[in-house]
Structure 1
Amino acid sequence: MATPRVFVSSTCYDLKYIRDNLRYFITTLGYEPILSEDGAVFFDPASHTHDSCLTEIPNCQLFVLIIGGRYGGKFQGTDDSITNMEYREAIKNKIPVFTLVESGVLHDHHTYLTNRKNKDIDLTKFNFPSSDSIKIFEFVDEVRKAASNNALVPFRDFNDIECYLRKQWAGMIYDFLTKKSASEKITDYLEVISQMNSRIELLSHEILNSVGTKKAKLNAIFYEEMLSNKAIQDLTFLGLKPKPTDILNNPDFSSYCNSFNIELFIHDDDHEFSISGNGEISNSRFENNIEKYHKIQNFIKDMLKKDNMSIEEYLNDEN
């Protein structure tokens, strides 16, 4: 049976006790903890060990980020830490990230933010009680300013971490089950509606075939085709009620609008495909409506011809 794989990202030596407890906690939940020191990461002899850690992340379903007071080793060839790069890889792969920051580091971060714009203080030379580098604060800012997946929670000891992760992962399962249930209900409703529409359509055809006039049967076909025609949809949006006879009586889209006192204001903007209720329409949409209008008009003419009914006969038939 497949089990969720949880990648734990943090500096190792200063947070060893946290990582040890996380390994045990994740295992007791039935999940698989992925920690670099356990051999759970395959260190390809042909690659740098840093790259091997990043390669393992897309194979995980959850990502736990612990930010402590030590910045840690730099990722090969960069000024960023290994933890920084692991976090970015998780974000790139859209893996849910659960970030926890040591309380003392957050207090230092607040001091950093308060004094960051003070030109009289060189923060690079300032000794923070719980943090060994201001790059930690820059990393905290990167996480909290992300567009999504940016929750950031303080912790004092492992109990805080365990309590937070239990609630969050239980919430994920609840959210999944709730959405799944709602999705199944919607699917059931759509199935019922689909069946109802099919029955209504069948009954409509049966009624038309049994008692409908020749023109009524043709109108049913015409209106069904008109419903999906973009030009007809725009005429409806402009407040008109298009009918097949009106389409035959008006040679094009413009004349149809004019015959019902709708004045069009065409604006020449190749980057828009818009229409407004007051008659403003982009040139691209207008040209498209001309084409679609002729398409439905030709469809009506072809169906009349196929049914051996002339346009004059159709227009004059009042029944």
Structure 2
Amino acid sequence: MARLRVFISSTCYDLDILRGELRPFISNMGYEPVMSDYSDILYDHRSHTHESCLKEVPGCDMVVLIIGSRFGGTAVPSALQLVDFASLDKLSTKAEILATKEKLSITQLEVLKAVEAAIPVYTFVDERVLHDHHVYEKNKDKKDVIDHIEFPSIQKRDTARYIFEFINFLTHRTANNSVLAFSRLEDIRVQLASQWSQLFQRLMLESRTKAQEARRYRDFSERIDDLKAVVLASLATPDLRDTAKGAVQFRHLIGFVSGFVAVDARVLLLSDSSWDDLLAKAGIVEIRTLEEDDRDWLARPEVFLIREDRTFYRFRLPRRALDDFRVEWSAFLRLDGHAREAIVDALLEDREQRRFGMLRYVERSFDEFMSQRDGPAQLALGEAS
């Protein structure tokens, strides 16, 4: 089972105890921690370890950044080539740190790679560092003073500016700019548990809202399509009532037939062919249904209409819709010829039907398509046309 991969980015020497205690917390959440000091990263013998760390970041789902008193090792030049600094410059209103990219640490570069890849970053800064950052912001314009200030929270004075400016970059990002203070591990654990829980809750709410909006849109679209069908049909024949009724009744049937490729839908629709002959003229030789019980990754059975050349259509509706079309086709054939022609011409001119068609043509072999599915494919053979 795939697990959420959480990349832990921080200096190791001063934060090794905190990192060691954070690892089981992430594992107990059911996620996979990715940490350089636990051999979670592939160190390719053909490249520098800094490059290996950066290449691992895009494969993770989120990054937890912890900023303490140390700056960490300066990134090697080859690692700098793996980051698109031009794109990063547009993502923060305080990007001065990028002007001295050769001074960036590997920890900072890991985070910048995550930002570049639009991976969520959860930033935690030692509260003592945040206090000194405030002092730095108050005095950084005093060039004759700032470089001589000893910040108690920073291990090396000459690294202070690069740590504080990196915090500025993060806090002034156009998105994902939250920076949280911590004084002990428990602060980080509580915040992460709360943030991840709220994120999951938000995603669930958005999913429900999106589904409700989709249903409302479909209902509204159906009503508009019905009204459109009536209007179009009313313009096509003097017999308004019967033609309008037929346009509404057979709109989906005509939309289905018009989805076939390399055939004249109008000729098919105005023919006196039986339903099976109509499908045969469209090149359909087989209909298959992939049953829900056979593949647990399906939300519902999938229906495929297979052509003579083994290319195929994916049918977006349930299999029973095809049975409904068979019945509707028989009723459509009983209409007066002039009424059929008026309905067909009116609806075939409606390009919106093609945008939201129920058939999607796949120009590849159905057998090859099925062979690439995960696991064994158990197919229930439907009717052969």
1:131-168 per-residue CA deviation (whole Å, 9 max, x = no partner) reads 13212111111111222111101001011101111111
From 196, 205, 209, the equivalent of 1:182 is: 209
Unaligned runs of 5+ in 1: 218-319
Tell me what 1:108 maps to: 132
- Partner letter of residue 31 of structure 1? Y
Report the alpha carbon displacement of residue 211 of structure 1 after superposing the two structures with TM.
4.3
Tell me what 1:59 maps to: 59
Note if 1:191 corresponds to 2:218: yes
Tell me what 2:70 maps to: 70
CA distance in 1, matches of 2:232, 2:118: 50
Unaligned runs of 5+ in 2: 78-101, 245-385
Q: Per the alignment, in what secondary structure is the counterpart of residue 148 of structure 1? A: coil
Matches within 5 A, 1:297-316: none
Matches within 5 A, 1:1-319: 1-77=1-77, 78-121=102-145, 123-132=146-155, 133-134=159-160, 135-208=162-235, 209-211=237-239
CA distance in 1, matches of 2:232, 2:105: 70
Report the alpha carbon displacement of residue 19 of structure 1 after superposing the two structures with TM.
0.7
1:71-97 per-residue CA deviation (whole Å, 9 max, x = no partner) reads 111101332111110010000000000
CA RMSD, Structure 1 to Structure 2 (Å)? 1.8
Distance 1:120 1:76, change over 3 A: closer
Tell me what 2:350 maps to: none
Higher relative contact order (CA 8 A, sep 6+): 2
CA distance in 2, matches of 1:33, 1:7: 6
Q: Per the alignment, in what secondary structure is the counterpart of residue 6 of structure 1? A: strand
CA distance in 1, matches of 2:144, 2:234: 88
Report the alpha carbon displacement of residue 117 of structure 1 after superposing the two structures with TM.
1.8
Q: Per the alignment, in what secondary structure is the counterpart of residue 64 of structure 1? A: strand
Query: Taking every aligned residue pair, what percent have the same amino acid on both sides?
Result: 37
Report the alpha carbon displacement of residue 21 of structure 1 after superposing the two structures with TM.
1.6
Higher helix share: 1
CA distance in 2, matches of 1:47, 1:14: 26
Q: Which structure would you say has the larger Rg? A: 1
CA distance in 1, matches of 2:197, 2:61: 15
Size of the aligned set, in residue pairs, is 213
CA distance in 2, matches of 1:165, 1:67: 15
CA distance in 1, matches of 2:74, 2:148: 20
Report the alpha carbon displacement of residue 57 of structure 1 after superposing the two structures with TM.
0.3
